[in-house]
Amino acid sequence: MSKIEFKPGTMLYPVPAVMVSCSDTNGNNNIITIAWTGILCSNPPMAYISVRPERYSYEMIKTTKEFVINLPNKKLCKALDFCGVKSGRDVNKFDYLGLTPEKSNHVSVPSIAEAPVNLECNVKDIVPLGSHDMFIADIVGVSVEEKLMDEKQKLHLSKADLICYSHGEYWSLKESLGFFGYSIRKKQKIKRERE
């Protein structure tokens, strides 16, 4: 297979595209779009977001040491993009987009009510990296829409219509290709009805 070499860069795609809500100490809320985010640890549950220091939300998060990662669905795609190209210095994004700042359970920062999943985070550390600083945080609370749960309280994220970001474009997640461990799962024996 023939390949072309690229210069070192951010070619790890697709990535989550999330809406991070934050507040300043005066209670002014903002939403920033983040693609440089992920999980760092499962026990304790930890996540990170990387933010440019010149962004309006940077000082809010640095000062309050709190933020909420809101997972957007297809309905929120346009709002997700807007929050990445417009500054909170110029517009109140909650008001302009008609989004609801919902009281979070474990942090003082509001969640976005319209997002199907919200991860409430407390900052543990800030690591300067270059163009971005990484906010390392404990996930202290998670909220999910009730309609994503079945009668046995199993979460079905496939019903959330989540989206991702890949090389400048937003994409929907269309189909499941397998599940964790499917490559080594033993095939179940099929009982023949006829002998």
Distances (CA, A) of 170 to 15, 88, 122: 10, 22, 28
**Domain assignment of residue 182, yes or no:** no
Token pair of 24 as six digits = 């300043």
Which residue in this structure is represented by tokens 């219509």? 161
Confidence (pTM): 0.92
3-state secondary structure 7-31: CCCCCCCCEECEEEEEECCCCCEEE
For 19-30, the pLDDT digits (tens) are 999 999 999 999
Alpha-carbon distance 120 to 194, whole Å?
A: 56
Q: What is the CATH number of the domain that holds 147?
A: 2.30.110.10
**Domain assignment of residue 2, yes or no:** no
**Domain assignment of residue 181, yes or no:** no
**Domain assignment of residue 91, yes or no:** yes
**Domain assignment of residue 143, yes or no:** yes
Assess contact for 109 and 67: CB atoms under 8 A: yes
Band (pLDDT 50/70/90 cuts) for residue 187 is: low
Supply the mean pLDDT for the chain: 93
Domain with 33 in it: 15-172
- Predicted pLDDT at 186: 73
- Predicted pLDDT at 179: 87
**Domain assignment of residue 92, yes or no:** yes
- Predicted pLDDT at 195: 44
Token pair of 108 as six digits = 């003082």
Cα dihedral across residues 154, 171, 177, 38: positive or negative: negative
**Domain assignment of residue 110, yes or no:** yes
For 105-152, the pLDDT digits (tens) are 999 999 999 999 999 999 999 999 999 999 999 999 999 999 999 999
Q: Count structural domains, the chain.
A: 1
- Predicted pLDDT at 180: 87
- Predicted pLDDT at 10: 86
- Predicted pLDDT at 191: 44
| pLDDT top residue among 11 and 45 | 45
Cα dihedral across residues 86, 171, 35, 143: positive or negative: positive
**Domain assignment of residue 52, yes or no:** yes
| Mean pLDDT to the nearest integer, 54-58 | 97
Band (pLDDT 50/70/90 cuts) for residue 1 is: confident
- Predicted pLDDT at 104: 98
For 62-109, the pLDDT digits (tens) are 999 999 999 999 999 999 999 999 999 999 999 999 999 999 999 999
